[in-house]
Amino acid sequence: MVLLLALALLHQDAKKFPDPPHGSPPPAPAENAEAGSAAEMRPYREAIPGTDAAFDLVPIPGGTFRMGSPEPEPGRGSDEGPQVEVEVAPFWMARCETSWDEYHPFMLSLDRKARAEGKGTPVPQDPWADAVSRPTPPYVPMDFEMGVHGFPAISMTQFAARHYTKWLTMKTGRFYRLPSEAEWEYACRAGTTTAYSFGDDPKALGEYAWYYDNSDDAYHPVGTKKPNPFGLFDMHGNVAEWVLDAHDKGFYATLGARAVDPVRWPSEPYPHVVRGGSFDDDPVKLRSAARRGSHKGWKIQDPQIPKSIWYLTDARFVGFRVVRPLHPPPPEEWARYFEPDVESIREVLEKQRQGGR
């Protein structure tokens, strides 16, 4: 019932602000942000309206790849197979992991506060963005004194990351979301079939990633190592990254010989997938195919009662980055990407209650 109570509080928070107008918000100006086809896609910068934050995106061409790892790959996990051919539609992906500079306006409601103090510039997208629920005030500095400006945002739940993408969508008028596992691995591999996007030899990892051997037990500013062939930074290491999917060890086996844009939609609070490994991981966990599932231990030291649905006290190694599909779904389908499956979670909690667990 704890999660349901938290969801009820979310609804109450949203009602502090008027309902937004019908439809979706108008797109904010951004050069090269629109394309009619994959061939027309260009890199562009998204300046988040009403804030000082901006981030860069690169086009990821659609195509097919072998998802998962081959059996002989050193360090291969049992959940990385069987390999399956997957087709992925074109999308833009953030060049770097989402930084505190981008996340704080949402997390701390800095855009609302600036307008309330007469310092912020109102934008047409405000009514939609103001209606999005925001995180509760953090109970400790969520950067854990590792750095803020230019550093990756961390320690948010997948729930929080998904709500950030909703806020970002409403702020910009362009549909942003978390990547699927398939999209993430396709972008990480960038056309390669080796264990890492730069080859099979982990001795080269220090040129591309912050990990256990070189990180000094902390994350580092985004984009300070070499990028992969698609121009994406920190796909290996620095912080692990949320994707849309639930962690299902047998998911690949259900996809058959070929799958098109697969997603294993979550229906329970745990486990969800993070990808890429982190500053606190050994090289084997930074491989392109490596997967990791979340669990309750990631917030075991949370002092709040009930425990926060927004923050993870024990997952300093988790962040995310956003994608934007070339062909977004219609607005009436956006909620699937932003909101938890409340009915499924309700069923799980009821079963747990009846079972005395």
Mean pLDDT over the full length of the chain: 91
Positive or negative, the CA dihedral 285, 291, 297, 298 is positive
Phi, psi (rounded to 5 degrees) for 136: -70, 160
Q: Determine the Cα–Cα distance for residues 290 and 282; give it in Å rounded to an integer.
A: 12
Query: What does the pLDDT look like over 320-333, one tens digit per residue?
Result: 999 999 999 999 99
CB 283 within 8 A of CB 207: no
**pLDDT attached to residue 18:** 52
If we measure between CA atoms, which residue out of 79, 271, 45, 77 comes closest to residue 157? 271
Q: In what order do the strands lie in the sheet with 240-246?
A: 291-293, 272-275, 240-246, 318-319
Query: What does the pLDDT look like over 332-352, one tens digit per residue?
Result: 999 999 987 555 444 544 554
Q: Which of 9-13, 71-75, 123-127, 214-218 has the lowest mean pLDDT?
A: 9-13
State how far the alpha carbon of 106 is from the alpha carbons of 34, 93, 164, 208, in Å: 25, 20, 7, 30
Q: Which two tokens stand for residue 100?
A: 């505190």
CATH code, residues 2-354: 3.90.1580.10
Cα-Cα-Cα-Cα dihedral of 178, 184, 187, 193, to 10°?
Answer: 180
Helix (H), strand (E) at residue 182: helix 181-189
Amino acid letter for position 26:
P
Domain boundaries, the chain: 2-354
Within 13 Å, how many C-alpha atoms sit on residue 60's CB side? 33
CB 196 within 8 A of CB 236: yes
Stated pTM of the model: 0.91
Q: Which two tokens stand for residue 333?
A: 């389908």
